[in-house]
A and B are shown apart, each in its own frame.
Chain A
Amino acid sequence: MAEDEDRPRKVRRLASSKPKLGRMVTVSVGTGDKARDFYLHEDPIIEHSDFFKAALAGNRWQEGTERKVLLPEDEPEEFEGFQCFVYSGLTFLLNHPDGECSSIVHAWSFADKLQSCSYKDALTDSLALKVATSAKTPVGMQYGIADGSSVSAGLTRLLVDLAICYWTIGAFEKLDLEAAPKTFVRKLLVGLAEDRTRTNEDKPWLNEDCHYHDHGEEKPCYKTMFTY
C-alpha cells in the first residue's frame, strides 16, 4: 500500500509484511571488457520483470538451472538503472549526450525489452515531470523508440501529446520522417486532428495519475509496489 504522504514513514513493521527477497541470481550484462556481473535478489526482479520471471521459472531453461542470466547485448549502465529502480522505486538517469530526456527514452526501451511495466511507467512519469518543471521542451525523443514496439504504449502517447502541445512550427518542419517511428507519426497526425478542440488547461501529463501508464487493470501501478 502507498504510504500516506502527510505522515512520516513508520519505522515499525510487522514481520509478516517484510519484503520478499528470495535467492540470489547473477545477471551478467555486456560482453568483453565492458561486461559486468550483478548480484540481485530473485523475488524483486521477478516481480518487476516478466522477462526474468520467465527466464528463472523452475528449471525450464538453462538460466533457471544455473541461476545466472546473460544479457550480452545490453549495457551494464542501463541494467544498473533497472537494478536501482527495483530496490528503490526511483529512476536514476544517466547523462545522455542528447540530454536527460533522451536517456529516459533509452532506459524505457530497455525496460520494454525486460517487460518491466513498473519501470516503464516510472520512466514515463519521470519524463512528464521533467517537461513540467523545465522551460524548454525537447524535440528529438521520438527517434529513440523502436518502430516495432507497442503502438499503445504510454510513452508514445505522452510524446505525441507533448508534441501537439509544445512543438513549434520549426520543430514540425525539422521532423525526420525517415527516422521517426511510423507509429509515432500516425498517432501525431491523429492527435493533431483531435486536438483542434482541446483547451490549454487539459494537460494530462501535469496530473500524477496513471494516464500514461501501461500497467492497465491487471497489474499494479508501480507507485503502489514500493512500501519501504
Chain B
Amino acid sequence: MDFEQTWAILASAFTQIHEKQASKLSFEELYRNAYKIVLKKKGDELYLRVAEFERDWLSSEIERRIHKELPPQLMNALQGRSSAGSVGDDQVRTQGERFLRQLKLAWEDHQTCMSMLTDVLMYMDRVYCADTRRPSIFTTAMSLFRDCILRSHVRGDDSWPDICGTLNHVILDQIRMERDGDFIDKHLIKANVYMLEGLYDSHHEVEEEKLYLTSFEYEFLASSAEFYRALGDRLLKESDAGQYCRETRKRIDEENDRCRSTLLESTTPKIQKVVEDELIRYRMKDLIESESGVRFMITNERHDDLALVFDLEARVDPRKPELTKALQKIILEMGTNLNDAAQLGAAAEAPEDRAKAPADKLVNQQTVAALKWVEDVLELKDKFDAMWKQSFQSDQTIHTAIMRSSAEFINSHPRCAEYMSLFIDDNMKKGIKGKTELEIEALLNKAIVLLRYVQEKDVFELYYKKHLGKRLLMGRSLSIDVEKQMIFRMKMELGNNFTAKLEGMFKDMTLSEELTAGYKGYVARLGDADPRRIDLAINVLTSMTWPVETTNSAPDDARESRLKTIYPPAMERIRQGFENYYKEKYSGRMLDWKGNMGTVDVKVTFPKVPSKGFKERRHELNVSTYAMLILLLFNDLPSGASLSLEEIQARTNIPTNELVRNLQSLAVAPKTRILLKEPMSKDVKDTDKFFFNEGFMGKFHKVKIGIVSAGNRIENDRERVETEKKNNDSRGYAIEAAVVRIMKQRKELSHQQLVTETITQLNSQFKPDVNMIKKRIESLIEREYLERIEDSPSSSYRYLA
C-alpha cells in the first residue's frame, strides 16, 4: 500500500465532500483506505494530513466567504457603537444579519462535513486516536474553525476586532434593537449562539471554557447592566413608582424570553440577577422613598402597586429590608399622628381651681378622645391587615414588621393600657347594644388583638379591674355573658394568672345574689313581717380581689374614713341583722360597709304648694346611700328649716369629699334639685345652708339622681399618680417573687444572668425596669433572702434558704 496514493484518493473525496458532492462517493472504499493506513501504523500521518487539509480549506475558502460579509461600513458602525442607532441603522442591521447568516452557514457546513469525515476516519479515531490519546479529528477540526475563522481579522487588520468580537457586537446590537422595540431574527442569533456553545476557548474541553461563556456571555451581561442602569435612571425620573414596577416586571419577563428564544437558558439566572441588581436591588430604596413610592401607594390605597413592590423586592431578598423599613416608618408615623391627635383631643388638664362641672365636661371630652384613639388604632390596624393580605401575600416577615411597629407606637402612648380598658368598658356598656353575635365576636377579637400589643399587661389589668368593678356593681354591663366571654378570651391569650382575680369578681357577684336571697328568706323565717321594712340587696366583695378604688374612693381622707358613718336606727337595724346572718354563715370575716357604693330607692312626698298651684306629689328617688342619709335628716326638720354642711357632716360622718359630691347632685344639678342651697352657686362651701325643696317638680314618677362623675372615664392626674404608684408597688412584689423563684432554683447566679432571667420571666406581664430590679435585689439582700458572693469575678448572688 502506498500512503501518498491512498491519501490522494481520500483528499480528492474530502474536497468533493466539502463541495457537497458526496452522494456519488463509495463509503466503503474511503473507509477501507483509511482503515488500511491505520493498520499499517500510519495513523499519525493520516491525522496530520486531515488537519492540514481542513486548515487550508477553512482559511482560504471559508474565511473569504465570511470576510466578504463584513464591509467597512458595518465594521465602522460596530466600532463606534455610540453612533449606532442613528444614521444608516437599517443598513447596518441588514448587513449584520447577512454576516450572521453567512457565519451560521459556514458553521453548519463545517459540522456536516466533519461528521462525514469522522465516519470515514472511524477506524483512525477508534484505534489510533484512542491508543495515543489524541483528541478526535472532529474535535480538532472544531478548534480549527475557532482558530481559522473566529480568531481571524478582517483583511488581516489587527486593529479591528476578530470575527468572534465582531459577532458579539452584531448580536449585542441586535439585542439592543429588540430592547428598543424592534423585531429581530431570533433563530439566526440562536444558531450563532449554538456555535459559540459548541466551541471551547482552548483545546481543554471543559464546561467553563465554552466560547459562549468566555467570549459572549460576559459582554452580554456587562452591556445589559449598562443598559438597565440607564433605564433605571430614566424610569425613576420619568415614571411613577407603580409604572416603574410594571416596567421592571416586563423587562425581567422579556429577558427570560430572550434567553429561551435567542440565547441560552443557562444565562437566565445571570441576566435576571443583572436586571434585579440594576432595577431592583440598587434602586429599591429610591423607589420606595420616591414621591409616588410606598407612602403614596398606602395613602391612595394602591394595592396592586404595593403588591408589585413587594413582588419585586421579594425577588432580590426574602427579608424585603427596604419595604419592611418603609412600612415600619410609615406605621410609626401614622401611629404617632394618632397619639398626638389623642393628646390634642384630651387637651390640657383642668386646673385644680376651676369649677367642677366644666372640669367633668373636660374629662368626658378626654374620655371620648381616648375611645377615638382606640377606634383609630383599630382602623389603622385593619388597613394594614387588609394590605398585608391583599398586597403582601400574607408574608411572615411583613407581618412581624407590622406587628412590631404597631406595638411600638401603641406602647409609646403612655396611657394605652387605660385607653384599651376604657374602650372595652364603653363597648360593654353601650357598644354591643343591638349587635349580632357575630359582630360582638368580631369586637371581642379586636379587643384581644389590641391587648396583644400592650406591653404593660399589669397596668391594663389594674384598669380593667377598676372598670369591670364599676360595671358590675352599678349594673352597667349590657350582658354578663359577653363580659364572661371577654374574660375567657383573655384567659386564652394571657393565661390563668391574669384572669384569676377578674373571675373572682364574677364569683363574688354570684355569691352576693345568693346571700341577698338567703337573707330575705332568713328574715321571713324570723317572722318579722314589718311591712315598712327596708328591702336589702347586698354585694359582698372580697377585698383582695376588687380594686381598691371601688372600696375606698377617698384614700387621701384617711382620717375621715376611720370615722364610722352614722346610719339612722331603721338602717342600722338591718345592717346588724345582715351582719348576724353573714357571721352565721362565714365566721371570722369582717364586713366593711361602703356607703359610697350603694344606692337606695326612697319614696318622697312633696307637699302642696298652693301659691304655685302644685298638688301633693309623690316621687320615687333613686339615690346613693349617702344621699339617702342626707335626705333623711330633712324628714325631721320643720318646713322651711335649713341645715348647714357642717351640721350635715356632724350628724352623718360622711367623708367631706363624698358629702360635697352628693350635695352637688341633690342641690346643684338643675333637674334633680331636691334640696335648695343658699347661696345658690355651683361650689359647695362649709357655711352653705340647705333647705328641702318643697316645690320640686319632676316629669316622671321615678327620678334617678346620679352622683357626679361616677361612670368610668379617663383618670385625672391625681388618680393616675395613684395608679402608677400602686402599679409600681405590685411590680416590685412581682419582681421580688420572680427573683426569689429563680434563685431558689439556681442557688447561685451572676447579676447579669439574674436580671436577664427576671426580665424574661416577667415579660408577659410588663417590661421590668432594670433599676427597679436592682433595688429589689438590694432589698432582698437586706432581708437575708440572698447574699453577695464575695470573691466572685463578676458580681454574683447566692440564695439563702
A residues in contact (CB < 8 Å) with B: 50-51, 54-55, 57, 59-65, 69-71, 73, 113, 115, 146-152
Contact = CB atoms under 8 A, between A and B. Distances in A.
A83 B379 CA distance: 89
A151 B38 CA distance: 12
Contacts of B131: 150-152
The 3 closest A-B pairs by CB, nearest first: A54-B119, A61-B27, A148-B39
Given A63-B28, A148-B38, A150-B130, 9 more contacts: A54-B122, A63-B27, A65-B23, A69-B27, A73-B32, A147-B39, A150-B126, A150-B127, A151-B131
Given A51-B31, A62-B26, A70-B28, A57 B119 contact: yes
Given A149-B127, A152-B130, A62 B39 contact: no
B244 interface: no
B562 interface: no
Contacts of B41: 147-148
A148 B23 contact: no
A115 B123 contact: yes
Which of A61, A69, A70: most chain B CB closer than 10 A?
Answer: A61
Contacts of B122: 50-51, 54, 115
Contacts of A147: 39-41
B116 interface: yes
Contacts of A50: 122
Contacts of B40: 147-148
Interface in B110-167: 116, 119-120, 122-123, 126-128, 130-131
B35 interface: yes
B43 interface: yes
B435 interface: no
A147 B42 CA distance: 11
A69 B26 CA distance: 9
Contacts of B128: 148
By secondary structure, the B interface counts as: helix
A69 B43 contact: no
B22 interface: yes
Nearest to A73: B32
A55 B28 contact: yes
B130 A60 contact: no
Nearest to A62: B26
User: Which one of B28, B31, B39 has the highest number of Cβ atoms from chain A below 10 Å of its Cβ?
Assistant: B28
Interface centre among B25, B26, B116 (most CB of A within 10 A): B26
Nearest to A117: B126
B124 to A, nearest CB: 10
B25 A61 contact: yes
A61 B123 CA distance: 18
A151 B123 CA distance: 13
A61 B30 CA distance: 10
A55 B23 contact: no
22 contacts: A51-B31, A54-B27, A54-B119, A60-B116, A60-B119, A61-B23, A61-B26, A62-B23, A62-B25, A63-B27, A63-B28, A69-B27, A69-B28, A70-B28, A147-B39, A147-B40, A147-B41, A148-B128, A149-B127, A150-B131, A151-B131, A152-B131
A113 B35 contact: yes
Contacts of A61: 22-23, 25-27
Interface residues of B, number: 26
Contacts of B22: 60-61
Which of B22, B23, B116 has the most chain A CB atoms closer than 10 A to its own CB?
Answer: B23
A113 B26 CA distance: 16
A148 B128 CA distance: 8
Given A50-B122, A54-B122, A60-B116, A149 B39 contact: yes
Contact of A148 (B24, B27, B43, B116): B43
Given A60-B22, A115-B126, A151-B131, A146 B39 contact: yes
A62 B127 contact: no
B29 to A, nearest CB: 8
Contacts of B127: 148-150
Interface of B: 22-28, 31-32, 35, 38-43, 116, 119-120, 122-123, 126-128, 130-131
A60 B39 contact: no
B27 A55 contact: yes
A157 B42 CA distance: 23
Contacts of A60: 22-23, 27, 116, 119
B631 to A, nearest CB: 109
A60 B115 CA distance: 11
A80 B220 CA distance: 59
B26 A70 contact: yes
A54 B24 contact: no
Nearest to A27: B28
Nearest to B123: A115
Nearest to A153: B127
A81 B43 CA distance: 29
A64 B558 CA distance: 121
A46 to B, nearest CB: 13
A47 to B, nearest CB: 16
A114 B22 CA distance: 21
B40 to A, nearest CB: 6
B123 A62 contact: no
B25 A54 contact: no
Contacts of A57: 119
A14 B12 CA distance: 50
Contacts of A148: 38-43, 127-128
A150 B35 CA distance: 12
Contacts of B123: 113, 115
A55 B25 CA distance: 11
B108 to A, nearest CB: 15
Nearest to A56: B27
A94 B31 CA distance: 26
Contacts of A64: 27
A69 B32 CA distance: 12
Q: Which of A51, A59, A69 counts the most B-chain CB atoms under 10 A from its CB?
A: A51
Contacts of A54: 27, 31, 119-120, 122
Nearest to A148: B39
A113 B127 CA distance: 11
A55 B29 CA distance: 10
A54 B30 CA distance: 12
Contacts of A73: 32
A217 to B, nearest CB: 14
Contacts of B25: 61-62
A94 to B, nearest CB: 22
Nearest to A113: B35
A193 B250 CA distance: 71
B109 to A, nearest CB: 14
A61 B38 CA distance: 22
A57 B22 CA distance: 13
Contacts of A113: 35, 123
Nearest to A150: B127
A65 B575 CA distance: 128
Contacts of A151: 131
A44 B455 CA distance: 84
Nearest to A69: B28
A163 B43 CA distance: 28
Contacts of B35: 113
B24 A62 contact: yes
Contacts of A62: 23-27
A71 B35 CA distance: 13
Contacts of B120: 54
Given A62-B24, A115-B122, A55 B39 contact: no
A71 B28 contact: yes
A60 B26 CA distance: 10
A151 B127 CA distance: 8
B119 to A, nearest CB: 4
Given A50-B122, A115-B122, A55 B43 contact: no
B735 to A, nearest CB: 75
A59 B32 CA distance: 19
Nearest to B41: A148
Contacts of A59: 23
